[in-house]
Amino acid sequence: MSENESQFSEFKSKSGFRRILSAYSYSMQGFQAAWRNEHAFRQEVMIVVPGMLIAPFLPLPALHRLALVAVVMLLLIVELLNSAIETVVDRISLERHPLSKVAKDIGSAAVFLSLVLAGMTWAVILLPLAKAYFRT
């Protein structure tokens, strides 16, 4: 390859508004693929969406409401990244390999930690609200 030839992917050639439209389209395709192919993603969406709809209306400071929404969105982000890692590992080979297992297990650990963070955040923010509600 000569110095003048691009060493980048042909998919990186779009610019401007066309790139934004393409990125949006690819993102929607990613959501569709995750929904269609990833059971864990569907389960998490079923848990996350009600929380995201309820959080803005809770009698809490704005930053607390934002934190409630942010941690559940983070959970979905980590799940999507984990699914992408698993898909790439499977694309390389469907054979069992210790490094494939390590990659998938690390991705799963990341999802677990984000789930724990979300649960702890919701508990810390909502427990005082629940205690105050049930005292009256």
Amino acid identity for residue 37 in this structure? N
Nearest to 96 by CA among 83, 108, 105: 105
Tell me if 80 sits within 8 A of 34, measured CB to CB. yes
Concatenating the DSSP letter of every residue in 19-54 gives HHHHHHHHHHHHHHHHHHH-HHHHHHHHHHHHHHHH
**Which residues have a catalytic role annotated?**
79
- Contact call for residues 129 and 58 (beta carbons, < 8 A): yes
